[in-house]
Amino acid sequence: MSDEDQERFEDYLELEQYIEQLQAGRVAHPPAELTPGRANIYRMAALFRSASPESGEPRPEFAAELQTRLEQELQQRPKVAPRALKPEKAQKKGLQVSRRALLTGGAAVAASLAAGAGINHVVEQARATPNQSSDPYAGRIIASNVPTTWHLVTALADLGDKAVRFASDTIVGYIIRDDGDGGDPDKGKIIAISAACTHMGCIVQWHDADRKYHCPCHGGLFTEYGHVDAGAAPIRYLRSLPRLNTKVDSGNVYVEVPVGQGSTSTKTWQ
Amino acid sequence: MSTLRSNQGKSHLARVEQSITSMQVPRREEDVQEFQTFYQENLGLIYRYVYSKVGNREEAEDLTSQIFIKAIRGVDTQRGPQSIQKWLFQVARTTIADYWRVYYRVSVNSLEELLEGGWEGPAEAEPAIVSSRPTERVQCILQALPDHYREVLTCRFLLNLSLRETALRLGLTEANVKVLQFRALKRAADLEHITTGSR
């Protein structure tokens, strides 16, 4: 046993305090900066506390509340459009496009898959951090310890009411002005979203005609601000397109993206 | 093209085809039933696991909620229920690991000792959640303890007696009890690896 684990008077006091808090049913935390030996003692106390007769099972009210909340989460997924034809059409379209794309699209599909794979990893990281649970976009796409750079997209004066695509080394996306018609708190700001479809990573395509982003692969459909559209193919648990930070500097619009291997200037995406 | 024919490509192609053919109108009732069953089967497991790590109801409820919500958001529903359960347990483990990191901060010097001392921390084996209920593990450990340690822990944790009540019952001073419970938990920690085989 190391010297650090010599028993001290404070040890007994602190432990007693911890036990009393547990018994009182309050939130309890061990003292900070514990040695491994001491940390184990507190872990044991928590474990033993859980064996007490009153601690075993979840409260019925809690269980019910959580169940309701989870069902709400499930229902936030896209509903099938009431127009019975639409889903079928999307299905068929998806079928043809993806088969054709796979059989003939070759390089383009492989490239988007590669892009998708890269972005998914970053998204997973972002998801894994303990998060604001009510945020519909489930946090930012880029984890906090990832080095980033500001990528120039276009001049502010050139940004009308359409989405403008950008492609950096690491992210392909769109920027668009938020005119607040979605009741969105970001009204007036410039919104940037990742164009990687949250289904399997294909690059979604903005259509001026309906002002939506269409995924060429399986019928994913997103509104102008990246929300899942009601007309999207019934893909389970399709999520909104993740957002990126933007800034306007000297009349130019920039988006914050992870640093890539190459230069930071705009590159055309193959 | 060749990338698509490789093993990796094959599974992707298979997945895409599968997702196309399964893209029928979701049968809402079945979905709801499936979820309810999954929830009922797993809520208790997760809650007890979390409680045994945090020791109090409030945080146990908070973390259990976080875990289920995270799991539902990130789940790939093409997989079967067992695979989804695995995913749920994974989320539970990482959530608890994050909790450890915040509340069981170990001084940087002790980092080496941490690993040598076999401190479980983030990397816990899966059996911890599934196989033994916390109550069973505690019983196991209690049986393996010397009498005086077993008695003090039974008083404080299973019978929920106060410091004073425990001292009276065991015929000791309160100061004695404080020392005794400390050492009892320490010994219990040592025994945990041996009796429950968890590492």
DSSP one-letter string for chain B: -HHHHSHHHHHHHHHHHHHHHT-S---HHHHHHHHHHHHHHHHHHHHHHHHHHH-SHHHHHHHHHHHHHHHHHH--TTS-HHHHHHHHHHHHHHHHHHHHHHHS---GGGHHHHHHTT--TT---THHHHT--HHHHHHHHHHHS-HHHHHHHIIIIIS---HHHHHHHHT--HHHHHHHHHHHHHHHHHHHHHHH---
In a domain, B37, yes or no: yes
CB B176 within 8 A of CB B184: no
Sort out which chain A residues have CB atoms less than 8 A from B27's CB and list them: none
Q: For residue B19, is pLDDT > 90?
A: no
Residue A108 burial by Cβ neighbours in a 10 Å radius (0-12, 13-18, 19+): middle
Q: Same structural domain for residues B72 and B36?
A: yes
Q: Which pLDDT score, from 0 to 100, does residue A164 have?
A: 94
Q: What count of Cα atoms within 13 Å lies in the side-chain half-sphere of residue A147?
A: 4
Least CB-CB distance to A50: which of B26, B44, B134?
B134
Can you say how many angstroms the Cα of residue B51 is from the centroid of all Cα atoms in its chain? 8
Instruction: Give dist(CA A153, CA A100) in Å, integer.
Output: 32
Q: Do both B62 and B143 map to the same domain?
A: no
pLDDT tops 80 at residue B165: yes
Residues B115 and B148 in one domain: no
Same-domain check for residues A41 and A95: no
Q: Are residues A137 and A214 in the same domain?
A: yes
The count of C-alpha atoms lying within 13 angstroms of the C-alpha of B68, restricted to the half-sphere facing its C-beta, is 30
Q: How confident is the model at residue B25 (pLDDT cuts 50, 70, 90)?
A: very low
Under 8 Å CB-to-CB from B112, ≥6 apart: which residues?
A: none
Q: For residues A153 and A246, give the distance between their C-alpha atoms in angstroms, rounded to a whole number.
A: 10
Find out whether A103 and B101 touch, Cβ atoms under 8 Å.
no
On chain B, the residues whose CB falls within 8 A of the CB of A11 are 182
Verify that B103 and B174 share a domain, yes or no.
no
Q: What is the pTM of this model?
A: 0.51
Average per-residue pLDDT for chain A: 75
Contact flag A52-B182 (C-beta cutoff 8 Å)? no
Report how far residue B108's alpha carbon sits from residue B97's, in angstroms, rounded to the nearest whole number: 17
> What's the CATH code of the domain at A92?
2.102.10.10
Give the minimum alpha-carbon distance from A9 to chain B in angstroms, rounded to a whole number. 9
Residue B143 domain flag:
yes
Same domain? B120 vs B136: no
Residues A93 and A165 in one domain: yes
Of B25, B31, B57, the CB nearest to A25: B57
- Same domain? For A93 and A221 the reply is yes
A169 falls within a domain: yes
A2-16, A253-267, B131-145, B155-169: the lowest-pLDDT one: A253-267
Mean pLDDT, residues B42-66 taken together: 94
Could you tell me if B166 and B149 are in contact, meaning their C-beta atoms sit under 8 angstroms apart? no
The verdict on residue B53 lying in a domain is yes
Whether A97 and chain B come into contact, CB under 8 Å, resolves to no
For chain B, the residue count is: 199
Answer yes or no: is A227 within a domain: yes
Task: Write out residues 56-115 of B within 8 Å (CB-CB) of A.
Answer: 56-61, 64-66, 68-70, 72-75, 77-78, 94-95, 98, 103-107, 110, 113-114
Highest mean pLDDT (candidates A2-6, A190-194, B128-132):
A190-194
Residue of chain B nearest A103, judged by CA positions:
B1
- Tally of domains in chain B: 2
Residue A142 has pLDDT above 50, yes or no: yes
**Best mutation site among A1, A48, A122 for testing chain B: the one with the most B CBs within 10 Å?**
A48
Mapped onto helix, strand or coil, the DSSP state of residue A248 is strand
Q: Which of B124, B141, B164 is the last residue of a domain?
A: B124
Q: How far apart are the first and last CA of chain B?
A: 46
Domain boundary among B77, B106, B124: B124
B102 and B146: one domain?
Answer: no
Point out which residues pair with A164 in neighbouring strands.
A175
Cα–Cα distances in angstroms (integers) from residue B60 to residues A186, A198, B90, in the given order: 35, 31, 17
Better-scored residue on pLDDT, A228 or B78: A228
Residue of B108, B178, B187 to mutate, testing the A interface (most A Cβ within 10 Å of its Cβ): B178
The DSSP result for B72-121, as a single string, is: HHH--TTS-HHHHHHHHHHHHHHHHHHHHHHHS---GGGHHHHHHTT--T
Q: In this structure, what DSSP letter does residue A229 have?
A: P
The answer on A193 and A105 residing in a single domain is yes
How confident is the model over B55-72, as a mean pLDDT?
93
**Pick from B75, B105, B124: which residue ends a domain?**
B124
Contact B73 A91 (CB under 8 A): no
CATH number for position B149? 1.10.10.10
Same domain, A41 and A164: no
Contacts of A57 in chain B (CB under 8 A): 44, 47-48
* Shared-domain flag, residues A113 and A246: yes
Q: Which residues of chain A from 27 to 66 reach within 8 Å of chain B, CB to CB?
A: 27-30, 32-37, 39-59, 62-63, 66
How many domains are contained in chain A?
2
Residues A21 and A131 in one domain: no
Same domain membership, residue A107 and residue A208: yes
Note whether B40 and B89 are same-domain residues.
Answer: yes
Residues of B in contact with A28 (CB under 8 A): 55-56
A229 and A113 part of one domain? yes
Q: Is residue B8, in this structure, part of any structural domain at all?
A: no
Distance of CA B39 to the CA centre of its chain: 16
Inter-helix orientation angle B174-196/A9-23, to 10°: 80
On whether residue B173 sits in a domain, the answer given is yes
Determine the residue among A18, A44, A125, A202 to mutate to test chain B binding: the one whose Cβ has the most chain B Cβ atoms within 10 Å: A44
Question: Nearest-CA neighbor of A214 among A202, A270, B6?
Answer: A202
Confidence of residue A85 (pLDDT cuts 50, 70, 90): very low
pLDDT exceeding 90 applies to what percent of chain A?
32
Structural domain including B142 reads 132-199
Instruction: Tell me which H or E stretch contains A18.
Output: helix A9-23
Whether pLDDT at B87 is above 70: yes
Average pLDDT value for residue range A235-262: 85
Query: Do residues B119 and B154 both lie within one domain?
Result: no
Contacts of B117 in chain A (CB under 8 A): 36-37, 40
Distance CA A239, CA A166 (A): 21
pLDDT score for A125: 39
Query: Is B163 found in the same domain as B88?
Result: no
pLDDT band (50, 70, 90) for residue A185: low
Question: A205 and A118 in one domain?
Answer: yes
Judge: B162–A30 Cβ closer than 8 Å, yes or no. Answer: no
Q: Which of B29-38, B42-51, B161-170 has the lowest mean pLDDT?
A: B29-38
Indicate if B49 and B78 belong to the same structural domain: yes
Domain span at residue A129 reads: 86-258
Q: Which of B32, B68, B138 is facing A47, going by the closest CB pair?
A: B138
Write the pLDDT tens digit of every residue in A60-81. 999 999 999 998 888 775 443 3
Give the integer Cα–Cα distance in Å for A84 and A230. 13
- State the DSSP H helix or E strand holding residue A74, giving kind and residue range, or none if neither: helix A60-75
Same domain, B164 and B189: yes
Q: In the prediction, which pLDDT does B134 show?
A: 84
Do residue A249 and residue A119 come from a single domain?
yes
* Contact by Cβ (8 Å): A136, A239: no
Question: Do B184 and B149 reside in the same domain of the chain?
Answer: yes
Max avg pLDDT among A30-39, A100-109, A124-133, B97-106: A30-39
User: What ipTM did this prediction achieve?
Assistant: 0.75
Per-residue pLDDT at B79? 76
